[in-house]
Amino acid sequence: MGIQSIVMKKESDFNKAMIYDDNCPLCRCYTNVFVKTGLLKKENRIAFSELDTTAVSIDWNRARHEIPLIDMDTSYVEYGIDALVTVLQQKFSLIRPIMKIKPINWFFRKLYKLVSYNRRIIVASVHKGNCGFDCRPDFNYNYRLLLLLLLLVITNIFLIAFTTIMHLPATLIYGSLIAPLLFILLHRKETSNLELSVHYGIIGVMASFLLFLTACIQNFLLGIFPIVLCVGSGIIITIVVQQMIRRIRFIKNDRINEMQ
């Protein structure tokens, strides 16, 4: 009985609730993984849209940018990286000592902010339902621009790999993808143009990765190059068009929500 009591106490020690943005597919995904892996109780995964804001005391403005983790026994709240470290250290005991290393801590905090400020535009999921608390992150110009630059770097890496494998001049590909992006950025210095550029950049990463994948398959199957090229091009065009339609809907829906 003594051993059983110790085990039961250990299992019930982690009595913390995580409040997540249920209109963010990234937030839904990783909090659901926490539940499935036993890091978080199912009933302690609470969506902002289901939350009674009068029942808990947290920094609501901070909660829009850093996911809150509430201790159900003491009401102590941790946010963002600190909250994730507390959850993950249940299975990865070394994560907290590692996060105390200043360069590593700095890097992951900046990475967290990059994802958090851009979380809705990355996946571009249309807002569903009315949320009692508006948990949309603020627009942060620096992190939005940083995301765009990162997307450009990733796109260029895939394009360089593609042109190398296919023995093509890189300027042919760069002109078709980067020139429109630069036009959007330089035509008018407005927030909306930066938003459009980020959407374009995300689609560019997808398209460049698929081009690279097509080149790899073509290189492996030398004898049927025309088939690989035709099928690959068809898939890329289909995905790009689908993404454009989905992101246009996202932009329209986002503007409607801002006007309400």
What is the per-residue DSSP string for 162-215? HHHHHT--HHHHHHHHHHHHHHHHHH---HHHHHHHHHHHHHHHHHHHHHHHHH
Answer yes or no: is pLDDT of 19 > 50: yes
pLDDT tier at 1 (50, 70, 90 boundaries)? very low
Q: What was the pLDDT predicted at 5?
A: 38
Answer yes or no: is pLDDT of 70 > 60: yes
Q: What was the pLDDT predicted at 177?
A: 60
Q: What percent of the chain stands above pLDDT 70?
A: 78
- The distance of Cα 94 from the centroid of its chain, to the nearest Å, equals 25
Q: How far apart are CA 219 and CA 207, in angstroms?
A: 18
What's the distance, Cα to Cα, between the start and end of the chain in Å?
59
pLDDT tier at 22 (50, 70, 90 boundaries)? confident
pLDDT tier at 23 (50, 70, 90 boundaries)? confident
Of 158 and 7, the structure prediction assigns the larger pLDDT to 158
Q: What percent of the chain stands above pLDDT 90?
A: 22
Q: What was the pLDDT predicted at 2?
A: 37
The tokens describing 190, both together, are 């407005």
What residue spans define the domains of the chain? 2-123, 141-259
Report how far apart, in Å, the C-alpha atoms of 108 and of each of 21, 40, 66, 114, 149 are. Answer: 20, 22, 13, 10, 18
